[in-house]
Structure 1
Amino acid sequence: MTLEVLGSAVLGLVLAWAATHRFARRLPTRPLVYSTGVIGALFGDFITHSALGPGSALLSLLGAAVVSAASLSLLLRPAGRLRRRSIPA
């Protein structure tokens, strides 16, 4: 159980690191991204472990990766400026 938690935390850090290098200009500050990645991975591991029970470490890590990636994707800002067209009255 302890190794599963540590593994999911490391997985969250790796995903956050990859996101900061891939989408550096579209993300907020790095501490927020790293903490979101780790917390998302721990929460995903908790949910998956609760649903499947003990003995499914690989599936728990997969759940941790999915929830971490989903929570990191919520931090992304749009790539370009939003264009608003004025509607003539």
Structure 2
Amino acid sequence: MIWESFGAAVLGLALSWAALRSLADRLPSGRAVCLTGTLGALFGAYLTHAALGTDHIVGTLIGAVSVGAVTLSLLIRPRGRRLARSAAA
């Protein structure tokens, strides 16, 4: 479990780095992106490990990357100008 956690954290950092390289203008600060990617991957590893069991290391790491990518996608801001609020709101 320790190696799975370490692998998930490394994969989360790699995913965060890739997101910062490709979407730097649409993401918040680098610290927030790295923290979100790493914690998302660790949570994904925990969740997948609890669902699959101890003998599925590759499946656990795939789950870690999947949940890490989903949590990073929540940080992406839309392109272009900001949306204007209506007068009724």
TM-score calculated relative to the size of structure 1: 0.91
State the structure with more CA Rg.
Answer: 1
Q: Which runs of 5+ in 1 are unaligned?
A: none
Let me know the Cα RMSD of the aligned residues: 1.5
Instruction: Give the paired residue count.
Output: 87
2:15: which partner in 1? 15
Task: In structure 2, list runs of 5 or more residues that go unmatched.
Answer: none
Aligned to 2:3: 3
Q: Give the alignment's TM-score, normalised by structure 2.
A: 0.91
- Residue by residue, what CA displacement relative to the aligned partner does 1:27-80 show, whole Å, maximum 9, x if unpaired? 000000000000000000000000001010000000000000000000000011
The residue that corresponds to 1:34 in the other structure is: 34
Equivalent residues in 2 for 1:46-65, closer than 5 Å: 46-65=46-65
Q: Distance in 1 between matches of 2:37 and 2:45?
A: 12
Equivalent residue number for residue 80 of structure 1: 80
| Pairwise CA distance, 1:26 | 0.2
